[in-house]
Structure 1
Amino acid sequence: MGTVGPNSPPRSTRVGQFIDVRRLLVGLDLYYGWFVVASCFLGGLLIYGLLYSFSVFFGHLVTAFGMSHANTSLIFSLQSVMMYVGAAVFGFTIDRYDVRRLFALGSVLIVGGLFGTSIFSSFIGVLVCYGIAVGTGFSIVMVIAYVTPVFWFERRRGVATGIATAGAGVGMMAMPPFARLLIAALGWQRAYFALALLVSVALAVATVLIADRPERLGIDASAEFVTTADDRSYPSAREQLRDVRSVVLSPSFAVFFLAFLGSYLVPLSLTVNFVEFARSVDIGAQAGVFAISVIGATNTIGKFVTGYLADRLDTTHVLAGNAVVIGVLTVPITQIHDAGVVLAMSALFGFGYAGLGALMTPVMADLFGAENLNGLFGVASVSSAFAGALGPYLANLSFDLYGTYIPVFLGMALISVLSAGLFLLARQWAATGVRG
């Protein structure tokens, strides 16, 4: 796969020209950036729909493998590490190679991993296919889906990224109950096979639509950007690594990294264990599945609200507010064991969770600049790898030892509230140029 410059015209073949519907869509009286947003929306829907459907499969995997909750949760932990650490690696690669080809590669890994999961009956087989292959595919598609809209929008960046990342909420809302129905009808392995078939079609559509920058398709984006493509410079790989290293080693980025790690602990730990948590407090597994869907629904709405607010208020303050909401609402969710209360609080929780995904790239663009944003996004995503690896494992270890998730969830809630202060500190240090 050869490298291409950001302004290079896409390579074409007869087959490529035949399926490249982008040429037709560019001619419509609609800015093509919105089709890119649609592609990113679909990518996020599939990634996070599958990610949070693990909560529905989790109990079946514990039974199938005869392992403890903590050890079985290592499947999700490994997937989180591959997803978010992989994002750091592919964040740099995406700046060097054609986004469409990389999106296709990620799609192949996801679909292939799902098919493999449906075939292998051993813990190691599922760990490799679902943890490594699917997780790596997630990392590629996630970086593209979350970062690409920034290169298509400036004036309406908050709304565009809000819509693109809202796919995650729709996936959370729709796929867990759908997966539960598939498991009931087919069993857990055949359910993964059915999901692989459906996901392959959806990712094919998203791959056709994706494009990295307006200038690659010869689109005039002057109405959206203050700066023109000619004004924007694209550094070499060595210059990019140097610039990213300079930002990553700054105190403001370190604090930003810790803030994201702390604020993601509760969402990743609670949602992946919601079904088992609901069983443990006697409100029923169905309530747990429904709670995930409710979080997904309000997360979707919250993405649009967050995008609207971010275009009018300080993005870092909005993000910090979301971290506080997540931490505070975890208390009634874990302490009041009534299905109605849990669902109501979960609905509000979804609004808070919405801002973490929607505002990550806009806040980084504000604090550290939009240049090298793919690479910075990837490095910052490693914070989620730590949260996804440690949080669910510690929560399930608590359940194995003490029969409850609650103490760990409450501790993570406190960390989320404290993380809000770290976001504000990162903003202050970035503005004043504090150096270590």
Structure 2
Amino acid sequence: MARFLHSVAAGPLATAEPLPQDQRVTQTVPGRAPRDIERTPRIHRAWWVALVAFVALVGAAAFRATPSVMIEPFHQEFGWSHGTISFAISVNIMLYGLTSPFAAALMERFGMRRVVAAALALVSAGSGLTVFMSASWQLVLCWGLLVGLGTGSMALAFVATVTDRWFVARRGLVSGILTAGTAAGQLVFLPLLAVVVDDHGWRPASLTVSAVALAAVPLVVLLLRDRPEDVGLTAYGATGPALHVAPATGAGRRAVTALTSAARTGTFWLLAGTFAICGASTNGLVGTHFVPAAHDHGMPVTTAAGLLAVVGIFDLVGTIASGWLTDRFDPRLLLAVYYALRGVSLTVLPLLLADQVHPPMLFFIVFYGLDWVATVPPTIALCREHFGASGPIVFGWVLASHQIGAALVAFGAGLTRDHFGSYDLAWIIAGALCAMAAAMSLAIRRGAVPAAAPSSG
């Protein structure tokens, strides 16, 4: 990832020439004399901030990759039903979404660095404590509450905050890269965790995730900065320094105020509805239940987990490409295409599940992987387009709907498996919901393009 960012930065992202005096930024610090600082170093600091954010998102995603490979071990060791285990997962997913808008507001008040470092520590604690549990309520507490709050504080609203503060140009591309960080966590850790669970049990896998999340904390503390102005720079692509006004209200009130204002518009409800279906058809269904569904057809857990890792590989490509497309095409049309294609793929999935990997299944994995979270960059763009400086916090609420949809389907699909003995009905319902989301995307009105200056959120 660092090599990719460096190669991109070597092109239009960098300049070796010092800027003339009239293109420099004057930084004034209370108690010190003003000083001129060049606006753009050789490699703009924004790209290094994006890299640190990417690593933090990977660390958070590491734990979110584990539920699908631990459902069967929990069921076998503790005798808990699929519905009981899915309930803990749904609490995690729900809190992941509901925490996001408040975390975005907390980042305004206390800074990204403090919030992200604390969130990683919370993820580490929640994952590590699961090794001591003996009752299902402890699974809900550790896996659901602690990790849900921690990962929610580093949710995709964090992506929106980084891109809004540090970038004016290339926002769509950077949104795609950072969103792909969540897939990279799955890509890097899911096959490893599946092997660890298969060979040594689920407890070493939980401790592995705990260590990875904790290891990312020093990197965040040392390298992440809240705003370009903190280091005497302007946002990448900006023509001048941002005018930041500190929020006059607390984080909670700021988040609620942004919601009540946005909720008066039909656009917000269309975005929230489509993103709820996005969560239902990705994290809630495939991310949680693909491995046990494939195992029901005789496929080894490690093989099924490997297929999800391949989804992560192609998600990197698809999400970054979606960010690039979002900078160039109508995001509403992109969303309609993404949801329609996803719906088709999910509808045919029950016909593809078997005890071994075959070419049609590989085609589904590649096709679905390209579309996994390709919806995020255009959804962030539409939030920015319609809600301006409050865009990151509004996106946090839209993400909350994403996780509510995911939580409901994660729980509902588990109950479906308990009642019918298979997941077939869940796949078909998800495909129909995606068709509905495609139509809703086309109903979103086109908003006014905001000014080029970066927002305060």
TM-score under structure 2 length normalisation: 0.83
Which of 55, 65, 76 is the matching residue for 1:63?
76
Which aligned pairs between 1:416-427 and structure 2 lie closer than 5 A?
Answer: 416-427=434-445
Which of 85, 98, 120 is the matching residue for 1:72?
85
Structure 1 contact 43–145 (Cα < 8 Å) conserved: no
- In structure 2, the gaps of 5 or more residues are 1-26, 31-38, 450-457
Report the counterpart of residue 407 of structure 1 in structure 2.
425
Structure 2 contact 40–233 (Cα < 8 Å) conserved: no
Which of 48, 51, 54 is the matching residue for 1:41?
54
Deviation (angstroms), 1:32: 0.9
Task: Return the structure number with greater helix share.
Answer: 1
RMSD: 2.4
Deviation (angstroms), 1:411: 0.6
Which of 81, 85, 91 is the matching residue for 2:104?
91
1-side partners of 2:377 and 2:267: how far apart?
20
Helix, strand or coil at the partner of 1:427: coil
Report the counterpart of residue 210 of structure 2 in structure 1.
196
Report the counterpart of residue 19 of structure 1 in structure 2.
none
Call closer, same or farther: CA 1:228–1:314 in 2, change over 3 Å: farther
Superposed CA deviations along residues 272-329 of structure 1, whole A, max 9, x for unmatched, are 1111100122334333212211110000111221111111111222122211221111
Helix, strand or coil at the partner of 1:141: coil
Superposed CA deviations along residues 211-232 of structure 1, whole A, max 9, x for unmatched, are 22211222133x61256413x6
Report the counterpart of residue 395 of structure 2 in structure 1.
377
2:152 is the counterpart of 1:134: no
Deviation (angstroms), 1:332: 2.5
Superposed CA deviations along residues 29-79 of structure 1, whole A, max 9, x for unmatched, are 211111111122112222233213210111111122212111111111010
Question: Among the aligned pairs, what percent are the same residue?
Answer: 21
Helix, strand or coil at the partner of 1:372: helix
Deviation (angstroms), 1:431: 6.2
Which of 365, 370, 379 is the matching residue for 1:346?
365
Call closer, same or farther: CA 1:234–1:226 in 2, change over 3 Å: farther
Which of 373, 381, 388 is the matching residue for 1:362?
381
Structure 2 contact 295–301 (Cα < 8 Å) conserved: yes
Helix, strand or coil at the partner of 2:110: coil
Report the counterpart of residue 237 of structure 1 in structure 2.
249
Partner AA of 2:288 in structure 1: V
Call closer, same or farther: CA 1:208–1:326 in 2, change over 3 Å: farther
Q: Which moved more, 1:205-214 or 1:258-267?
A: 205-214
Partner AA of 1:293 in structure 2: A
Structure 2 contact 62–213 (Cα < 8 Å) conserved: no
Deviation (angstroms), 1:146: 4.3
1-side partners of 2:390 and 2:316: how far apart?
28
TM-score under structure 1 length normalisation: 0.87
Helix, strand or coil at the partner of 1:121: coil
Which of 288, 294, 314 is the matching residue for 1:272?
288
Structure 1 contact 275–288 (Cα < 8 Å) conserved: yes
Call closer, same or farther: CA 1:9–1:388 in 2, change over 3 Å: farther
1-side partners of 2:182 and 2:334: how far apart?
19
2-side partners of 1:76 and 1:171: how far apart?
18
Call closer, same or farther: CA 1:218–1:95 in 2, change over 3 Å: same
Deviation (angstroms), 1:119: 2.4
Partner AA of 1:48 in structure 2: A
- In structure 1, the gaps of 5 or more residues are 1-6, 11-25
Which aligned pairs between 1:139-158 and structure 2 lie closer than 5 A?
Answer: 139-142=152-155, 143-158=157-172
2-side partners of 1:185 and 1:29: how far apart?
48
Helix, strand or coil at the partner of 2:422: coil
Partner AA of 2:409 in structure 1: G
2-side partners of 1:349 and 1:226: how far apart?
39
Which of 376, 387, 394 is the matching residue for 2:405?
387
Structure 2 contact 343–434 (Cα < 8 Å) conserved: yes
Deviation (angstroms), 1:233: 5.0
1-side partners of 2:163 and 2:227: how far apart?
9
Superposed CA deviations along residues 356-392 of structure 1, whole A, max 9, x for unmatched, are 23333222112322x0233212211221221122101
User: Aligned residue pairs: how many?
Assistant: 407
Deviation (angstroms), 1:267: 0.8
1-side partners of 2:28 and 2:377: how far apart?
29
2-side partners of 1:147 and 1:353: how far apart?
22
